[in-house]
Chain A
Amino acid sequence: MMRLFRPLFRLSLWIVTFLLAMPVLTVLLSWLQWNGVSAQILWEMSQNVLPEYVRTSVLLCAGVSLGVISIGVVSAALVTLFDFPLRRTLEWALLLPLAMPAYVVAYAYTDFLQFGGPVQNTLREWMGLQGRVLPEVRSVWGAVCVFSLVLYPYVYLLVRAAMAERAHHLMEAARLLGAPLHRRILSVALPLARPAIAAGTALALMETLADFGVASYFGVQTFTAGIYKAWLVMDNRIAAAQLATGLLLAVTVLVSLEQRAQSRLRFATGRSDAQSTEARAHTLKGWHGLLAFGLCFVPVLLGFVLPVLLLCRALLESVQSMAVPWVRFVHWSLNSIVLGGVTALLAVGLALWLSSQARFNGTALTRGLLRTVGLGYAVPGAVIVVGLLLPLGWLQSVWPQSGAGYWLTATVLGLVWAYMVRFVAVALQSVGSGYARIPSTLDESARLLGVSGWRLVTTVHAPLLRKPVAVALLLVLVDVMKELPATLVLRPFNTDTLAVMAYQLARDERLGEAALPSLALVVAGLLPVILLSRTLGREK
């Protein structure tokens, strides 16, 4: 029976991969359309601005890596290896910044910290100073801070999982062998977490590279900003796509680094060892406990509590002058949640299927396909939009009866497609790393007992994959709700989402009013974050 379906499976694998890789392929194929105009534009840019764009992007990535690793690893290590006041609360609170779109945090902090903002005004009054008293928020360093604060949860989430699963009993063993605490951390816990650190950082960097909202508001000239300029201002989609190839190259390097890291996870055992009750967390008392609490609380404070308070303040200031359209608000929220939910289910389903295929037929080809699909995450939403619109526009023009152009935008198909292109990678990361942790000996034992194919997936793999699947669902849902460029261009009539409304108001420079949908976006994002942390908590 299975044998009969195999070619069919193969074929569908190819089709799905092609659909997901199409925007990326369009980018690559743009080199075939190389012509004088785009060459001239690229040459001009390389003479004047490209070196600076590259420098800025590299600087940004270096800063963000440093930021997310230090915040993510320290907090994850503290909450898994130690016990201190309010640890249980902080364990899930540390995930809260995930619910914050980076551009919202950027707006909130700018308003608060800029030259004419309340902080600088107060400082000037107190100290009797003139002029600028704080460095400019809207700079590369400001962007590094914003990204580090909202993206560290990726590292935290993965490192915490890695440490919770394995560190305890190995730490216990090291303790019994007489290793002091600092050695146990430095030479047991951290090396164990290294693949997770790499995976989390790769995700954070891809998100940084794909960003346009923060960069454009801060006036930071990143490589992505250059792509947008070539497309929007120079009106040359070919030059834009060619520049995007550069970005893709950088991402390919990131992804392969990350996958090398993942492959090292294979030494792991399949069982979660957190149950080994003899491995108790080290209790921190006195000022040590306070310090641990402080280190974990500061990221939550700066990445979530403070921006939310700032948004509330902006809202209160402008609330007298506006009528809040509550009914439409519910409508926007529903749109956001439905789009996010549907995409999350599809993406995770697909990730499960693709990863299981890769596991069973782990040829270089399948792995290559998976890698191509994974590239989408770092591609700026607008490039994906171009990558979808170009080929479909072509199809529409050679075959007008197909209505391809209509199906893409008048229904949610195009939008969900674009989301899948970008976010299947996120689901793949999580599910893939979950799969990597299931030893292949388990499959072999199952096969010896007569369980194979789909039944192997449902009865053996599925229970072991519960946690990574939950993580994947959450990440995709939250990412979709925050997504902007594709939503803005591809959504059907009358389907405004919270992210779109927040952007429209912010674009119209009504930051006070934009605070309301932004806050709603945060609240809507909170729900899955809390659900996830509860799932993760229960599993332990």
Chain B
Amino acid sequence: MRHWSWAIVWGLMSGVAMAQGGVLNLYSARHYPTDEALYSDFSKATGIKINRVDSDDAGILARLKSEGSASPADVILLVDAARLWKGEVDGLFMPVQSKILESAVPAQLRAKPADTGGTAWFGLSTRARVVVYDKLKVARQEVDTYEKLAEPQNKGRLCIRSGSHPYNLSLFGAMTEHLGPVKTELWLKGLVDNMVRSPKGGDTDQIKAVASGECAVAVTNTYYLARLMRSSNPAEKAMAEQVGVVFPNQSSWGTHINVAGGAVARYSKNNDNALKFLEYLVSPEAQNHFANGNNEWPVVQGLKLDNPALKAMTGGSFKSELIPISAVGMNQIKVQQMMDRVGFK
């Protein structure tokens, strides 16, 4: 009797259940409800039950750090390159070797090989940080590079979310790599001078602000725009049609892309399942899901992409920047301090 009651208490408290094919404990920062299908398909195919905690990148890293060797996590999914790098540097991931992952994920979209030969994390999908503009007020060539956003011609036009958001921190970190810190700080100052309003809201809010005429130029991740373009809500669709989109810096270093990726947790107790799951995420079905469910670009090359919104945006393909993700991660503190100095909120 006593054993029974303990078992019940344990079951209730931990919420961890065992299934036939074993379990996989997942910490995920992916905040996209469309991913549900991804997880249930995996469970159906393998019989592995997924236990999940969705949180934000920073929360997940903090949690992993203090759980240490007692951590129940098997796989970590994060949505920002700088945070992936941070997890790697802090030793929260277990470098793994997998032919499937190594051949599927291009070298610049995964961690550099560890001394032991494994790879700490793999990019699974990418998103570009692009410029949207009011087609009536702004000429495309006025905003076709990130640098031009800070020029006087765009004064009183720009809307952008908080600089401290990971998506902007990574973009600015990349700019620091391209321009050097001195020029980047001037560039940030230029952005501040050009703002219509101090930063607030998310990327979708910025697109809506351009569509409503409050601003003329804004910066957004591609999937937010694609989601509006494909929305079943006519008002949202109309907004997306009102704005033009530019993939900046096509004639120089290319458009900034960020990567969402995954890793096996350092103290994973279900390594095999963890690796199986990561390998599943680069399968054509899963990659197609990233492309269609959340409007991201698959990392696997040569997949036929049938997302109309992404196609319409790029007109086929675009040039993306090639800089080491570690550099972006390392610049983060510097970037925040530059923003503090120039009053970028």
Contacts and interface: CB of A to CB of B under 8 A. Distances in A.
Interface string B91-130: 0000000000000000000000000000000000000000
Contacts of B209: 115-116
Contacts, number: 156
Given A218-B200, A489-B62, A504 B31 contact: yes
B336 A217 contact: no
B46 interface: no
A110 B68 contact: no
B231 interface: yes
Interface stretch (B9-17, B258-266, B301-309, B311-319): B9-17
B202 interface: yes
Interface in B240-297: none
Interface stretch (B50-58, B143-151, B181-189): B50-58
B68 A396 contact: yes
B208 A116 contact: yes
A54 interface: no
Interface in B55-74: 55-56, 58-60, 62-63, 65-72
A234 interface: yes
Contacts of B15: 492-495
Interface bracket on B: 35 or more
Nearest to A411: B13
B5 to A, nearest CB: 16
Contacts of B199: 219
B333 A233 contact: yes
A385 B86 CA distance: 19
B214 interface: yes
Contact of A321 (B65, B233, B340): B233
B329 to A, nearest CB: 10
Interface bracket on A: 35 or more
Given A389-B65, A410-B72, A492-B53, A510 B33 contact: yes
Interface in A181-226: 216-219, 221
A405 interface: yes
A454 interface: no
Nearest to A407: B70
A488 B53 CA distance: 8
B340 A48 contact: yes
B162 A219 contact: yes
B164 A508 contact: no
A507 interface: yes
A509 B203 CA distance: 8
A249 B201 CA distance: 31
Contacts of A45: 340
B237 to A, nearest CB: 11
B337 interface: yes
B345 A219 contact: yes
A221 B71 CA distance: 35
B164 A233 contact: yes
Contacts of A49: 340
Given A136-B197, A231-B58, A505 B68 contact: no
A386 interface: yes
B201 A233 contact: no
Interface in B11-44: 13-16, 25, 31-33
Interface of B: 13-16, 25, 31-33, 51-56, 58-60, 62-63, 65-72, 86, 162, 164, 169, 197-205, 208-209, 211-214, 224, 231-233, 235, 332-333, 336-337, 340-341, 345
Per CB-CB distance, the 5 closest pairs between chain A and chain B, nearest first, are: A116-B212, A393-B66, A219-B200, A405-B67, A406-B70
Interface of A: 41, 44-45, 48-49, 110, 115-116, 121, 131-132, 136, 138, 216-219, 221, 229, 231-235, 317-318, 320-321, 385-386, 389-390, 392-393, 396-397, 400, 402-413, 485, 488-496, 500, 504-505, 507-510, 512-513
10 contacts: A132-B214, A218-B200, A229-B336, A233-B169, A235-B86, A320-B233, A321-B232, A402-B70, A409-B63, A494-B53
Given A219-B200, A320-B232, A409-B67, 7 more contacts: A48-B337, A219-B345, A321-B231, A403-B70, A407-B70, A488-B59, A494-B15
